[in-house]
């Protein structure tokens, strides 16, 4: 069994849903040494999340952002956590709904994603800044 782990820092992205599959794969080239295994990607933040979804049509990511903003609006009078701005509490809720990690099978040294799948960074803050990610790959 092999185990590889790396901490990376993603550049600051604007608010929205961004495909980061390539950055993840390039950051841990040791994936190529794994015949059968798993990749675990974890984001070390509470106002951004990770998910896997459509990697071809960029309108999917636009629609995600639109829907999440309608489903979880800013400036609700019942929000008590407001010191960091109107986008902060909604960002925490959005992050919790999506989650802070994803798992991807590794087969024959490659991420075994579906044809139309990619790993998304879900940036829920207007100015989230750099994001820290821990990537762990393990297998035989």
Q: What is the pLDDT of residues 62-96, one digit of tens each?
A: 999 999 999 999 999 999 999 999 999 999 999 99
The verdict on residue 135 lying in a domain is no
Instruction: Output the domain CATH number for residue 69.
Output: 2.60.120.460
Question: How many residues are listed for the chain in this entry?
Answer: 140
Residues 128, 97 contacting (CB under 8 angstroms): no
CB neighbour class for 45 (10 Å; exposed up to 12, middle 13-18, buried from 19): buried
Predicted TM-score of the model (pTM) = 0.96
Residue 38 lies in a domain: yes
**CB neighbours of 65 closer than 8 A, spacing ≥ 6?**
15, 16, 17
What 3-state DSSP class applies to 51?
strand
**Domain span including residue 89:** 2-74+82-127
Residue 136 located in a structural domain: no
Q: How many domains does the chain have?
A: 1
Residue ranges of the chain with per-residue pLDDT less than 70: none
């Amino acid at each position: 069994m092999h185990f590889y782990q790396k901490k990376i820092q993603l550049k600051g992205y604007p608010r929205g849903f961004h495909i980061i599959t390539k950055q993840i794969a390039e950051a841990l080239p040791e994936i190529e040494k794994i015949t059968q295994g798993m990749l675990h990607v974890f984001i070390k933040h509470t106002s951004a999340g990770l998910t896997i979804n459509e990697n071809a049509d960029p309108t999917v990511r636009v629609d995600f952002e639109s829907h999440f903003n309608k489903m979880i609006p800013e400036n609700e009078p019942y929000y008590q956590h407001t010191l960091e701005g109107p986008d902060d509490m909604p960002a925490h809720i959005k992050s919790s709904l999506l989650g802070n990690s994803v798992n991807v099978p590794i087969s024959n040294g490659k991420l075994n994603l579906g044809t139309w799948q990619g790993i998304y960074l879900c940036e829920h803050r207007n100015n989230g800044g750099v994001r820290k990610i821990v990537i762990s790959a393990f297998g035989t």
